[in-house]
């Protein structure tokens, strides 16, 4: 960027033209998601869908879904999107849900609902616990942290799915909630949801399925006759499912869903205040003012694409995924971890330094997610990758040859992830490193 605006608001303001030029300039430093250079963060279904997003979003960028009486339009969009998705997830006629700002809010809402249901129906529970796989998204730990619930994190079995026996043994009188992912973010594998469902029923506790990634993929994969492990409301013990619209739903950022089997649990999600001079207050999710743009855009994209549109996108992305996985295995030095069910997976190696490989790929213009425990690189495949898959594999082959004879850098685990941010391999206190990083980053 040419210049920083700094701390002071400009006296006079600028023309839209000037600002657009400056914003486009700023954007040029961002990862090239439209060209498939990034393997996460953005889910782009092409220019046509982008047009739908922009127009839908624009029409409602001032809309506030906080008040459904003032905005029956947004209420209609939200409830229709919830109902359409509930049906995709094979929920029965009693299903209800909410749109939220993202998977993290969806997670927070379902954990809150379970907690408050337990407080109201099981008064003997004063220190609630939830049991989650180690691979569950940090959003669930974050929810537990905010809501003061103890999390019991269960190790993974060798297939990267949660160790069921360990889950069984961890359930106690304070357990209010089990969680499984469909699929997990780090490895793209689906936890044994059927068995978790049975445990949940036997012990009369809730089971949340985190389908933030899979919610808008797995139902279509099933229609396309791919193998999809059972994960949705057809499993009797499942009480809620989260699905991100702004991931494989391909809608604008700021949109996710939490769906409940019935309204009994959702009632505990709501917040009310009856003694406020401003009036009787009720709010369904975390946000007060609830942006209309993402809700309208989500409704528009869902109904623009329809089942056929999603099937086409899912088929395309899966074809690319298969080609990429073949090419990755053909390097002879890399492996796919576990048995990923869809277009999210991790590459590991017991032959070369996987972080050195990531560094070599950065030099060729590719940003891959760096994971640890075990060291791996993460790929989320989306439509823009169709055009670049051969170029990516050619560069990967070159990068493998570059690093296969190098001595490992002796970076253990996650320390190597941070090497790319300019810290030392020997970084010890990861927690304060991460806080320092955030503190330093969010400054002008």
Please report, as ranges, the residues that interact with ligand PLP according to CB under 6 A: 102-104, 107, 137, 139, 181, 185, 210, 212-213, 244, 256
In terms of phi and psi (left: phi > 0; alpha: psi -120 to 50; beta: otherwise), the region of 9 is beta
Q: How far is CA 186 from CA 26, 101, 340, 368, in A?
A: 30, 22, 10, 12
State which residue, 251 or 325, has the beta carbon closest to ligand PLP. Answer: 251
Residue 390 CB, nearest approach to ligand PLP (Å):
27
State which residue, 104 or 251, has the beta carbon closest to ligand PLP. Answer: 104
Residue 311 CB, nearest approach to ligand PLP (Å):
22
State which residue, 88 or 189, has the beta carbon closest to ligand PLP. Answer: 189
Residue 179 CB, nearest approach to ligand PLP (Å):
10
Give the C-alpha separation, 423 to 437, whole Å.
10
Residue 244 CB, nearest approach to ligand PLP (Å):
5
State which residue, 349 or 371, has the beta carbon closest to ligand PLP. Answer: 371
Residue 22 CB, nearest approach to ligand PLP (Å):
28
State which residue, 246 or 261, has the beta carbon closest to ligand PLP. Answer: 246
Give me the residue whose beta carbon is nearest to ligand PLP. 103
Residue 281 CB, nearest approach to ligand PLP (Å):
25
State which residue, 102 or 128, has the beta carbon closest to ligand PLP. Answer: 102
Task: Return the half-sphere exposure (C-beta side, CA atoms, 13 A cut-off) of residue 207.
Answer: 28
State which residue, 188 or 384, has the beta carbon closest to ligand PLP. Answer: 188
Residue 107 CB, nearest approach to ligand PLP (Å):
6
Residue 125 CB, nearest approach to ligand PLP (Å):
25
Residue 29 CB, nearest approach to ligand PLP (Å):
22
State which residue, 42 or 313, has the beta carbon closest to ligand PLP. Answer: 42
State which residue, 104 or 343, has the beta carbon closest to ligand PLP. Answer: 104
């Amino acid at each position: 960027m040419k210049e920083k605006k700094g701390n002071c608001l400009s006296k006079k303001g600028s023309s839209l033209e000037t600002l657009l030029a400056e914003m486009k300039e700023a954007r040029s430093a961002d990862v090239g998601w439209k060209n498939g250079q990034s393997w996460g963060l953005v889910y782009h279904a092409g220019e046509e869908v982008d047009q739908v997003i922009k127009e839908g979003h624009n029409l409602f960028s001032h809309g506030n879904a906080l008040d459904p009486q003032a905005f029956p339009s947004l209420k209609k969009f939200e409830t229709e999107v919830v109902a359409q998705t509930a049906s995709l997830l094979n929920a029965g006629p009693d299903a209800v849900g909410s749109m939220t700002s993202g998977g993290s809010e969806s997670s927070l809402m379902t954990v809150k609902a379970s907690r408050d249901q337990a407080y109201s129906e099981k008064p003997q529970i004063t220190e609630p616990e939830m049991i989650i796989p180690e691979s569950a998204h940090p959003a669930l730990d974050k929810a537990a942290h905010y809501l003061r619930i103890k999390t019991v994190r269960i190790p993974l079995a060798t297939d990267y799915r949660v160790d069921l026996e360990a889950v069984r043994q961890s359930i106690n009188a304070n357990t209010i909630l089990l969680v499984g992912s469909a699929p997990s973010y780090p490895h793209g594998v689906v936890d044994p949801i059927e068995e978790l469902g049975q445990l949940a029923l036997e012990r009369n506790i809730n089971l949340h399925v985190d389908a933030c990634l899979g919610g808008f993929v797995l139902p279509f994969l099933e229609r396309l006759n791919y193998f999809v492990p059972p994960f949705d409301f057809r499993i009797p013990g499942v009480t809620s499912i989260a699905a991100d619209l702004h991931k494989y739903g391909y809608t604008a950022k700021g949109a996710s869903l939490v769906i409940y089997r019935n309204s009994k649990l959702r009632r505990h999600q709501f917040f009310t205040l009856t003694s406020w001079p401003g009036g009787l207050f009720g709010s369904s999710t975390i946000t007060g003012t609830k942006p209309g743009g993402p809700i309208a855009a989500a409704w528009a994209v869902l109904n623009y694409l329809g089942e056929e549109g999603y099937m086409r996108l899912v088929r395309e992305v899966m074809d690319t995924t298969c080609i990429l996985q073949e090419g990755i295995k053909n390097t002879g030095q890399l492996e796919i971890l576990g048995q990923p069910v869809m277009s999210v997976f991790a590459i590991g190696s017991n032959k070369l330094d996987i972080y050195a490989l990531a560094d070599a790929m950065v030099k060729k213009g590719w940003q891959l997610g760096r994971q640890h425990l075990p060291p791996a690189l993460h790929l989320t495949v989306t439509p823009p990758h169709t055009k670049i898959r051969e170029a990516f594999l050619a560069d990967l082959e070159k990068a493998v040859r570059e690093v296969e004879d190098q001595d490992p850098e002796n970076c253990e685990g996650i320390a190597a992830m941070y090497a790319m941010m300019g810290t030392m391999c020997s970084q010890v206190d990861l927690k304060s490193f991460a806080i320092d990083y955030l503190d330093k980053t969010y400054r002008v």
